[in-house]
């Protein structure tokens, strides 16, 4: 690992953090250490970072804002690439928004609203980064990224930088081509339309009020734990299985929203994994439905 660190330092790729705990960088506030965390200072340095990691055979993980991510208690053996300030820039060109992959998706929706642009209101309650939203085809309130994206600049696992148009991303429910074609979203271009600022603000305020009433946002969580099965709601199935309030260690099924697992204070990743498995088996036994996690688990087991 020291040889790799020396090479990264020589290439001046950006900030390097050794044996860095992942917990502060995830919305669950859970996770062991990463061998090395790299915060590239530019797109070019990100490309250089990926080249060095690939040539050295070092496993690497991309980290945005840490939502929808569970890092195991033993942590990540290899490198974590975190998109920092260099990837948080936003530029408006009329109704077209150029947004860095590291920018907050929620904050982007607020900025769009202030510009009188409609189409991003659904994002006002989605935690995480622009890059993560593009990768997952994040959505809410009957809309998702596929409705508004124009194109994305992606660094492929091979090191090639490409522009992927909307069709290239092969969007489906919470899915994109990037799930099976490794790549890093560096920037996304969204095309919105002009609307009434008051109506946009009212819609976002209504979404926020509903979110505060129905989601346990005062405690660390990762948003929805499971995808909604076709024609059904995961939260309803979990609640009807009698699992609201079910607790394993420091992880608990929220009493406010059954598809949220909360960290009550000292939860371990294993607590969450055990609770996820218990929910899946309970729902399968009761309803014959296989719940598929929406969160991604990474790290040494």
Confidence class for position 265, pLDDT limits 50, 70, 90: very high
Number of Cβ within 10 Å of residue 301's Cβ equals 9
Give the model confidence (pLDDT) of 79-88 as tens digits.
999 999 999 9
- For residues 139-152, give the mean pLDDT: 94
Residue from 47, 48, 121, 174 carrying the catalytic annotation? 174
Q: What is the pLDDT of residue 130?
A: 97
Q: What is the pLDDT of residue 68?
A: 86
Q: What is the pLDDT of residue 253?
A: 98
Gyration radius from the chain CA atoms: 20
- Does residue 250 or residue 1 have the better pLDDT? 250
Q: What is the pLDDT of residue 282?
A: 98
Give the model confidence (pLDDT) of 33-74 as tens digits.
999 999 999 999 999 999 999 999 999 999 988 988 999 999
Q: What is the largest CA-CA distance in the chain?
A: 57
Give the model confidence (pLDDT) of 228-240 as tens digits.
999 999 999 999 9
Confidence class for position 159, pLDDT limits 50, 70, 90: confident
Please tell me the distance from the alpha carbon of residue 297 to that of residue 101, in angstroms, as a whole number.
Answer: 21
Domains of the chain plus CATH, in order, are 2-85 (3.30.43.10), 88-200 (3.30.465.10), 217-298 (3.90.78.10)
Please tell me the distance from the alpha carbon of residue 290 to that of residue 234, in angstroms, as a whole number.
Answer: 10
- For residues 7-30, give the mean pLDDT: 97
Residue 209, pLDDT > 90, answer no
Enter the tokens of residue 252: 């608990």
Q: What is the pLDDT of residue 173?
A: 86
Confidence class for position 126, pLDDT limits 50, 70, 90: confident
- For residues 217-232, give the mean pLDDT: 93
pTM: 0.90
109 counts as catalytic: no
Residue 19, pLDDT > 90, answer yes
Kindly list the distances between the CA atom of residue 236 and the CA atoms of 93, 257, 259, 272, 281, in Å, as whole numbers in the listed order. Answer: 42, 9, 8, 20, 15
- For residues 141-170, give the mean pLDDT: 94
224 counts as catalytic: yes
Dihedral over Cα of 236, 208, 26, 46: its sign: positive
Residue 94, pLDDT > 90, answer yes
Please tell me the distance from the alpha carbon of residue 115 to that of residue 135, in angstroms, as a whole number.
Answer: 25
Q: What is the pLDDT of residue 250?
A: 98
**Mean pLDDT, the chain, as a whole number?**
95
Residue from 153, 224, 252, 254 carrying the catalytic annotation? 224
158 counts as catalytic: no
249, burial (CB in 10 Å: exposed 0-12, middle 13-18, buried 19+) = middle
Q: What is the pLDDT of residue 62?
A: 93
Q: What is the pLDDT of residue 108?
A: 97
Q: What is the pLDDT of residue 174?
A: 85
Residues 6+ apart with CB under 8 A from 47: 155, 159, 161
């Amino acid at each position: 690992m020291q040889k790799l660190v020396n090479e990264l330092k020589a290439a001046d790729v950006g900030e390097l953090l050794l044996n860095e705990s992942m917990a502060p960088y995830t919305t669950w506030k859970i996770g062991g250490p990463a061998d090395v965390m790299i915060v590239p200072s530019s797109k070019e340095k990100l490309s250089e970072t990926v080249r060095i990691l690939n040539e050295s055979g070092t496993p690497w993980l991309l980290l945005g804002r840490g939502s929808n991510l569970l890092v195991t208690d033993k942590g990540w053996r290899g490198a974590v690439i975190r998109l920092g300030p260099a990837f948080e820039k936003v530029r408006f060109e009329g109704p077209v928004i150029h947004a860095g992959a590291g920018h907050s998706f929620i904050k982007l929706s607020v900025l769009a609203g202030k510009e009188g642009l409609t189409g991003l209101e659904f994002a006002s309650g989605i935690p995480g980064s622009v890059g993560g939203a593009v990768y997952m085809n994040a959505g809410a309130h009957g809309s998702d990224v596929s409705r508004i994206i124009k194109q994305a600049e992606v660094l492929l696992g091979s090191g090639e930088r490409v522009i992927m148009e909307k069709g290239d991303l092969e969007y489906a429910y919470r899915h994109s081509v990037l799930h099976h074609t490794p790549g890093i979203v560096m920037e996304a271009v969204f095309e919105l339309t002009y609307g009434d600022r008051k109506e946009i603000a009212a819609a976002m305020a209504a979404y926020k009020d509903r979110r505060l009433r129905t989601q346990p946002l005062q405690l660390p969580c990762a948003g929805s734990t499971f995808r909604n099965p076709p024609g059904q709601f995961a939260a309803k199935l979990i609640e009807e299985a009698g699992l609201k309030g079910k607790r394993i260690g420091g992880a608990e099924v929220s009493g406010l929203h059954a598809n949220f697992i909360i960290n009550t204070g000292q939860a371990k990743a294993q607590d969450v994994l055990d609770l996820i498995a218990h929910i899946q088996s309970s729902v399968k036994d009761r309803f014959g439905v296989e719940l598929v996690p929406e969160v991604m688990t990474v790290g040494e087991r």
